[in-house]
Amino acid sequence: MPIPTERSAVRFRVRGRVQGVSFRAATRREAQQLDLHGHAINQADGSVEVLVEGDAKAIERMADWLQRGPVLARVDRVDRESVAASGRSGFGVG
């Protein structure tokens, strides 16, 4: 029987050329592969907010991926903030 892992949650703000380059869709695919839950939402300032919840190691892998993003993106900066895990399910884009 697998040992349950404690869920962590992190909110990232990704800045650069991250809108109009399939960043959110690629982020959702990456999150699903890592079994992370949350969302990727375009912000009015041109950044993308990425909220992920799940295993801490998977979140760190996502953090590494966000530093590069998909092929057409140019990531200039990624800010992160730990937030309370709330049992999110699925991964949405907006």
The active-site residue, picked from 42, 61, 80, 88, is: 42
**7-81 CATH:** 3.30.70.100
Domain boundaries, the chain: 7-81
What's the whole-model pTM score? 0.92
List per-residue pLDDT tens for the chain, 94 residues long.
Answer: 454 557 899 999 999 999 999 999 999 999 999 999 999 999 999 999 999 999 999 999 999 999 999 999 999 999 999 999 999 999 999 8
DSSP string, the chain: -PPPPPEEEEEEEEEEE-SSSSHHHHHHHHHHHTT-EEEEEE-TTS-EEEEEEEEHHHHHHHHHHHTT-STT-EEEEEEEEEE------SEEE-
The verdict on whether 42 is a catalytic residue reads: yes
